[in-house]
Amino acid sequence: MRTARRKLSWSGAPEGTRSFAVSCFDPDAPTGSGYWHWAVYDIDSSVGELAADAGNGRAGSLPAGAITLPNEARSERYIGAAPPATTGVHRYFFVVDALDVSHLDIAPGSTPAVLGFNRHFHALARGILVGTASVD
């Protein structure tokens, strides 16, 4: 398995963008419902990239004001690609939404699906990057 550590960047947000939300989801996880690896919102509209280690969960690793929700492991950090052996190729959807609000009113500890529901109603634009990983 090869792992690349690169920043996640975006550009070209539409007029009226006031914040961004970012998530990473693996629909191929052997759970029957996929696996949320990461969910962050309230990223200021002036931000156009996150460093490779931005999701490490340590204070100051994300831009000021950004909020991370617990992932499937109930950890408020990014959990990288590590598909279980024999489960084939997994797709990792990194999604960035430009939102028309600076803050989403989401209860602390909510799931990434709750973020998805809320960002749906405020998205002005969406970018999707799909990476893959497998263990032989």
Collapse the DSSP code of 134 into the 3-class scheme (helix H, G, I; strand E, B; otherwise coil) and give the result: coil
**What pLDDT sits at residue 80?**
86
> What CATH number does domain 15-133 carry, 3.10.105.10, 3.40.50.1820, 3.40.47.40, 3.90.280.10?
3.90.280.10
State the pTM of this model.
0.92
Place of tokens 């634009």: 125
125-134: pLDDT as tens digits: 999 999 999 8
**What's the rounded Cα separation, in Å, for the pair 22 and 85?**
27
Q: Where are the domains of the chain?
A: 15-133
Q: How many CA atoms lie within 13 A of 9 on its CB side?
A: 5
Give the mean pLDDT of the chain. 93
